Amino acid sequence: MERMNGLSSLFSKDVRSHPLRLQPGQVFTGRVLKLFPHHMAALRLGTTTLTAHLEAALTAEQSYLFQVKEHEGIPKLRVLSQQEGLHTHLWVDSAVKTLHSLGLPDNRTNRTLLSLFQQEQLPFTKEMLQEGSRLLKQLNRLNTKGAQTLSFLEQKQLPLNRFMFESAYQALYGEKTLAFHMKQLSALLSQSDTAVSGSENRLRRVLERTWSSMRIDHLQQSASPQVAHFSKGVLTDQEKTALTDVLEQAFPNPKISAGQSYIAEKVLALIKQLGLESHQPSSAREVDNFHHLESLRKTLIDCVTELEGPVRKQAETLLQKLVGQQLLSHGSSDTVQQTVLQLPLTILNYETDLHIHWEGKKKQDGSLDPDYCRILFYLEMEFLGETIADVHIQNRFVTVHIFNDQPKPDRLFELLRPLLEERLTALDYKLSSVNWRQVKENKKTKQSANHPQSGRGGVDIRI
């Protein structure tokens, strides 16, 4: 997951990031850039610069801990203490003064969380520090990730309780995939020695339906066995025909074929089955279908309190994973809408997760502008391994960058590009370029000749 965690840096704005919204009572670390008459100053707060009215005489190029008194118009700030080097004697004195100013007890837990907020330059409130200290100590997460999770919940204006914290933590830092947690729960349900309850039966049925939704195996029916390994030689006419058939099934011409492609239908159906869709029903028929849809998330919410022992614990973890995805999935500003999804897939017999980061531009009326978009797809595949597709749409011109450790599969590109151009043209888009970037090509020159890299055999075309 290391590479996936770095994908957000490719966006101009990370979905976890929010512009600083000053609220009364909020505390943050800021650096004084310039002093003006009448107790005015220019401050640097993280990556934000603002002008504020201060209640004390300060020194330029020094950092302080501020508390917001008024946020309308030009903010009025109260100085709590000067920022000192963390964990020095001066900082301890400053921390004691800050906690006293906020009306909080001076104890080790509060000091630790205060230092984490200051170290990460995370804005916080008295309530956030008070409740966060109790929560992080209880969950044994009094660390940088715990502090960042609290900040995430505060930015989303969500309650600071155990369930929401664990859900957000799963979304931000959980190393185990959704499919892993589903497998664990399925195994526990099948091993249950006690009488199977109605809730367990219902949960088992929904899990089986979800596993079925995750499978993508329809494309194999018309592919010859040699197609997956075509990089070893020149494609024969038979192999070209087989591969073309596969691609035609996956991406039918929208001007000829009614409805969505097989891949799109599978992804949308899986989102609904998991219970991750954000769309609200707008018609009577949709409302009826919505209430009758037994999604995995809805079933877990209904059943979790009736489960017992390890089954209940694993069901809670899976529910937190799903809820965490929803917390992380949407971010927006006045001009940009972002969506993040992580979907478990089984491509033939290979299990993987598809990650989608989508960023769209808003029009003045708030609707999305189809002329501008950016999409990141991340998928680990059986033959190609970790693959990232970075898609840019600018004024309906489409540029695709593919990142992978393997050499460029030229023969696959020969077949894919004309099909991609045709399908985009049918949707009134124009393909600008498709580029393959070998991630490890620069690293290979640094490796010793005694430690050559072993490449994978074959190329995966089932995406």
293 and 417 assigned to the same domain: yes
Check residue 263 and give its pLDDT. 75
242 and 341 assigned to the same domain: yes
d(CA 206, CA 204): 5
For residue 323, being part of any structural domain is answered with: yes
332 CB neighbour count, 10 Å cutoff:
14
For residue 172, being part of any structural domain is answered with: no
CATH number at residue 140: 2.40.50.140
For residue 365, being part of any structural domain is answered with: yes
139 and 219 assigned to the same domain: no
The torsion defined by the Cα of 402, 408, 414 and 419, in degrees rounded to 10, comes to -20
What does the radius of gyration of the chain's CA atoms come to, in whole angstroms? 26
Q: State the average pLDDT for the chain.
A: 78
For residue 454, being part of any structural domain is answered with: no
384 and 268 assigned to the same domain: yes
263 CB neighbour count, 10 Å cutoff:
16
Check residue 454 and give its pLDDT. 40
For residue 161, being part of any structural domain is answered with: no
Q: Are 388 and 377 in contact (CB under 8 A)?
A: yes
φ, ψ of residue 77 to 5 degrees: the values are -120, 145
Last residue of a domain, one of 112, 144, 176: 144
Last residue of a domain, one of 113, 144, 175: 144
459 CB neighbour count, 10 Å cutoff:
20
269 and 356 assigned to the same domain: yes
Q: Are 178 and 353 in contact (CB under 8 A)?
A: yes
140 and 269 assigned to the same domain: no
318 and 406 assigned to the same domain: yes
140 and 244 assigned to the same domain: no
355 and 269 assigned to the same domain: yes
Last residue of a domain, one of 121, 144, 167: 144
Over the stretch 108-124, which tens digit does the pLDDT of each residue have?
A: 999 999 989 988 888 89
For residue 245, being part of any structural domain is answered with: yes
For residue 413, being part of any structural domain is answered with: yes
Check residue 70 and give its pLDDT. 85
229 and 132 assigned to the same domain: no
Domain hosting residue 98, numbered range: 13-144
Over the stretch 22-50, which tens digit does the pLDDT of each residue have?
A: 788 888 888 899 988 888 999 888 778 88
For residue 155, being part of any structural domain is answered with: no
The b-or-e profile of 120-156 (16+ CB within 10 A means b, else e) is eebbbbbebbbbbbebbbeeebbeeebbbbbbbbbbe
3-class secondary structure per residue, the chain: CHHHHCHHHHCCCCCCCCCCCCCCCCEEEEEEEEEECCCEEEEEECCEEEEEEECCCCCCCCEEEEEEEECCCCCEEEEEEECCCCCCHHHHHHHHHHHHHCCCCCCHHHHHHHHHHHHCCCCECHHHHHHHHHHHHHHCCCCHHHHHHHHHHHHCCCCCCHHHHHHHHHHHHCCCCHHHHHHHHHHHHHHCCCCCCHHHHHHHHHHHHHHHHHEECHHHHHCCCCHHHHHHCCCCHHHHHHHHHHHHHHCCCCCCCCCCCHHHHHHHHHHHHHCCCCCCCCCHHHHHHHHHCCCHHHHHHHHHHHCCHHHHHHHHHHHHHHHHHHHHHEEECCCEEEEEEEEEEEECCEEEEEEEEEEEEECCCCCEEEEEEEEEEEEEECCCEEEEEEEEEECCEEEEEEEECCCCCHHHHHHHHHHHHHHHHHCCCEEEEEEEEECCHHHHCCCCCCCCCCCCCCCCCCC
The structure's pTM equals 0.75
132 and 222 assigned to the same domain: no
Q: Which residue has the tokens 């000067």?
A: 82
108 and 257 assigned to the same domain: no
| Domains identified in the chain, total number | 2
Check residue 176 and give its pLDDT. 87
Q: What is the mean pLDDT of each run of 10 residues along the chain (463 residues)?
A: 44 46 84 88 84 84 87 85 69 84 91 89 90 94 94 88 93 88 92 73 92 73 44 53 58 53 80 77 40 79 91 94 85 79 83 87 86 91 85 94 87 80 89 87 46 40 30
**Contacts for 423 with CB less than 8 Å, ≥ 6 apart:** 251, 253, 254
